């Protein structure tokens, strides 16, 4: 399944800025490697996006791209089964609006 997420925080900047859209999918999770960008669900924070720092057969260690931010998700390992999506593509909403206007598609 494909899903689009809108970035709202700064922990992954400059790679992902607030307002960026991320196209992700749930069926490429077996291809997760070091430096993959993954998305998981947390009951307090909703969906969370992080980069894989380390992976073994069962667990992942995660990191932010922004060294100036803190995330408690980066302090502990996460079971690989908690990963719901892997990020495939990032696009900025302003470019999407421009592209849709060229195609004369209403959004």
SS3 77: strand
The predicted-structure confidence for 51-81, as pLDDT tens digits, reads as follows 999 999 899 999 999 999 999 999 889 999 9
pTM of the predicted model as reported, rounded to 2 decimal places: 0.85
The percentage of residues in the chain with a pLDDT greater than 90, rounded to a whole number, is 74
User: Who contacts 37 (Cβ-Cβ below 8 Å, separation ≥6)?
Assistant: 12, 15, 16, 22, 49, 50, 51, 52, 86, 87
- Closest to 49 in 3D by CA, of 79, 80, 24: 24
């Amino acid at each position: 399944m494909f899903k689009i997420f809108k970035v709202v925080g700064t922990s992954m900047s400059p790679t992902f800025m607030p307002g960026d859209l991320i196209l992700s999918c749930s069926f490429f999770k077996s291809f997760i490697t070091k430096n993959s960008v993954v998305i998981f669900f947390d009951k307090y924070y909703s969906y969370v996006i992080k980069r894989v720092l380390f992976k073994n057969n069962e667990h992942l260690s995660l990191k932010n791209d922004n060294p100036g931010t803190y995330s408690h998700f980066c302090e502990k390992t996460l079971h690989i089964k908690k990963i719901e999506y892997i990020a495939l593509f990032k696009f900025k909403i302003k470019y999407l609006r421009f592209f849709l206007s060229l195609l004369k598609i209403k959004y």
